[in-house]
Structure 1
Amino acid sequence: MLEKIKQLDQEWFLTINGYHSSFWDPIMVAISDRLFWIPFYLILAAYLIYRHRRQSILMFLAIGLALLAADGISSRFIKPYFARLRPCHDATLSETINIVGGCGGKFGFLSSHAANTFAIAMLFALMLPDRYRYFKIFAFIWAVAISYSRVYLGVHFPGDVLGGAVLGIVLGLIFGFLFRKLLVRHPYFTR
């Protein structure tokens, strides 16, 4: 059963990774690059501070802790434990894959990019009021786009990003729950 899942994962990877074009390659590199998103993060942080004042302190705390947990668990525990090679480091795939923009570390399961972005998307879904529903949808589309770019670029199997997404959502739920508990217990942050 496990071999069948690995084979299916590899087939999906080869299909997604095979859709390359000179138009999409630089776009996917940019989407996957953490530095590309810095202006967006700065604008978002400024808006959260302006709009949510004191509550933004707890928001940033929840986001920071979720990112530390997602990145730490994926990079320091899960990747070394499973030791699954990234597709770009797998010698059996070297002839068939397109690597765009470098390869990254040796192991790929599970994707830290996916874990981090899905943790943030889940946190926004829980922290922000319902009037931000379109932003919440955008946050998940953003997480999916970054995760997809990792497969497109040849650095992760679909199973890597799916595992990262699950970890991120679980951590987002945990830290979102803690965020809500702190808001209830400390009315200072709701003023």
Structure 2
Amino acid sequence: MIEQVLQFDTELFLKIHLGLSNGFFDWLMPLMRNRFFWSPLYLFIIIFCIKQYKKQGYYIIGMILFTFAMGDLIASRLIKPFIARVRPCNDIDLQNYIIHRVPCGSGLSFPSAHATNHFAIAVFLICVFYSRWKPILPIGLFWATIISFAQVYVGVHYPIDVTVGALLGTTIGLLCAKLFKTLQPDF
């Protein structure tokens, strides 16, 4: 059963990594997964929270950082070393199929920390701001999804890596939002 799932995962990876290959995605997807590309968004969130919500804005920012730290800790420090799955771009069996769109890195693959962290932050922000601004739901989910998809497209993660990362991140985001609302009930 596990072998069949891994085979399906590899086939789906190749369909995305090779089958969707085009010049526009080759330009766009490396940007989507680059943390510096999103720096203006992160800066906007910080400024918006402080300007709009004053003292509570600092609590929101603190919880975003806590949410990120929990996602990274659980995905990168706990699960990845335990599972020890090799990235597709480092997999010897796939070396003739990989298009090197970004540096592969030596890290492990399962789960995707990018997917975990971005879904955690997106879900946290959705839970905190949805009652005030409904468009945050599709925007937040699209943001986390495009970053996760880019991880597969550029060849550094398998689809299951980002799917499990998204589920893990969603769970972390929900729990951190619940903690925030417990600590800040009047928000």
Q: TM-score, normalised by structure 2?
A: 0.95
1:123 aligns with 2:124: yes
* Partner of residue 17, structure 2: 17
Give the drift of 1:129: 4.0
Alignment partners' CA distance in 1, 2:126 and 2:109: 27
Deviations 1:31-83 (A, max 9, x none): 11011111111112111211222221221121111111111111111111101
2:150 corresponds to which letter in structure 1? S
Q: Which runs of 5+ in 2 are unaligned?
A: none
Q: Within 5 A, what are the aligned runs for 1:90-105?
A: 90-105=91-106
* Partner of residue 154, structure 1: 155
Give the drift of 1:22: 2.1
* RMSD (Å), alpha carbons: 1.2
Q: After the TM superposition, list the runs of 4 or more consecutive aligned residues in structure 1 that deviate by more than 3 angstroms.
A: none
Give the drift of 1:104: 2.0
Q: Secondary structure at the match of 1:23?
A: helix
Alignment partners' CA distance in 1, 2:15 and 2:28: 19
* Partner of residue 110, structure 2: 109
2:26 corresponds to which letter in structure 1? D
- Tell me, yes or no, if the aligned pair for 1:99 and 1:155 is still in contact at 8 Å: no
* Partner of residue 2, structure 1: 2
2:111 corresponds to which letter in structure 1? L
- Tell me, yes or no, if the aligned pair for 1:89 and 1:106 is still in contact at 8 Å: no
* Partner of residue 49, structure 1: 50
* Partner of residue 146, structure 2: 145
- Tell me, yes or no, if the aligned pair for 2:129 and 2:136 is still in contact at 8 Å: no
What's the % identity of the aligned pairs? 37
